[in-house]
């Protein structure tokens, strides 16, 4: 089977434990206003235009070719992370890759959780762990900031927690006055209390995008929030209400 990959980070240290390769799968059903991978959103190949030239985002790989590429590097790596975009959109392709690499390379699936529950569970059962890129729990706010409500994501997380023992963490981008509001953080701590296989809540500092990435896709970056505002997160206060480890990543 074939899949569409828009980037491969060869020596990643931020996408899970140890030294990893991160494979970025193209296509995402969300449209987060702060997305720093706009070239990963469309499910089709895209020609990016930079001042110095052009680059195609979106290369077709067969599952076998990608598995062989990863297995070639297994001695140097602690694992592989499949990110996006949204890996759930290419779940059948990814399941084939996982079948070929899972005995040699521990895998992490980095997903928003928005997609087919059956595919999510099938991937989770073959992965070592998952990263849920949680954003906003309030349905209306999620719709307005990410283009999709939160109901399906929350239903998938709750159901997976009951039906699959694979551990997972939440990874929350700290978008000033958006995702780091008291209401959202309290809702996340409350959700964490319901779950058995959640290992940590990890906060990711806001990553200022280069407008150039949007310009390269022929779009304008219009985040709609104050990029320079200080984050509202009080980590100690959050830790006091969160039942699992909570930390701020670099
Ligand atoms: S889920 Fe990730 S890739 Fe998709 S739009 Fe949001 S930030 Fe971008």
Question: In the predicted model, what is the mean pLDDT of residues 22-39?
Answer: 96
CATH number at residue 166: 3.20.20.70
Ligand 1 in reach of 175 Cβ (< 6 A): no
Ligand 1 in reach of 179 Cβ (< 6 A): no
CA of 86 from ligand 1 middle (Å) equals 7
Q: Which two tokens stand for residue 80?
A: 């592989």
Ligand 1 in reach of 41 Cβ (< 6 A): yes
pTM summary value: 0.96
The range of the structural domain enclosing residue 105 comes to: 2-248
Q: How many domains does the chain have?
A: 1
pLDDT tens column, 75-103: 999 999 999 999 999 999 999 999 999 99
What is the rounded CA–CA span in Å between residue 4 and residue 57? 9
Listing DSSP states for 185-208 in one string gives: HHHHHHHHHH-SSEEEEEEEE--P
pLDDT tens column, 136-186: 999 999 999 999 999 999 999 999 999 999 999 999 999 999 999 999 999
Q: Which atom of ligand 1 is nearest to the CA of 34?
A: 7
Ligand 1 in reach of 12 Cβ (< 6 A): no
- For residues 43, 49, 55 and 59, what is the CA-based torsion angle, rounded to 10 degrees? 10
């Amino acid at each position: 089977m074939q899949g569409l990959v828009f980037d491969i980070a060869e020596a990643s240290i931020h996408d899970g434990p140890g030294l990893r390769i991160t494979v970025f799968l193209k296509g995402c059903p969300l449209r987060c206003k702060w997305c720093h991978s706009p070239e990963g959103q469309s499910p089709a190949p895209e020609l990016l235009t930079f001042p110095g030239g052009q680059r195609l985002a979106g290369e077709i790989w067969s599952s076998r070719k990608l598995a062989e590429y990863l297995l070639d590097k297994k001695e140097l790596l602690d694992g592989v992370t499949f990110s996006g975009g949204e890996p759930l959109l290419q779940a059948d392709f990814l399941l084939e890759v996982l079948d070929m690499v899972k005995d040699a390379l521990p895998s992490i699936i980095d997903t928003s959780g928005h997609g087919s529950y059956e595919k999510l569970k099938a991937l989770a059962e073959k992965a070592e762990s998952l990263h849920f890129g949680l954003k906003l729990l309030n349905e209306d706010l999620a719709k307005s900031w990410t283009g999709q409500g939160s109901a399906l994501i929350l239903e998938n997380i709750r159901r997976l927690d009951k039906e699959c023992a694979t551990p997972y963490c939440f990874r929350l981008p700290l978008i000033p006055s958006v995702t780091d509001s008291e209401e959202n953080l309290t809702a996340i701590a409350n959700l964490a209390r319901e779950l058995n296989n959640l290992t940590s809540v990890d906060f990711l500092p806001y990553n200022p995008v280069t407008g150039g990435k949007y310009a390269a896709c022929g779009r304008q970056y219009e985040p709609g929030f104050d990029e320079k505002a200080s984050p509202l997160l009080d980590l100690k206060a959050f830790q006091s209400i969160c039942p699992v480890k909570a930390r701020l990543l670099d």
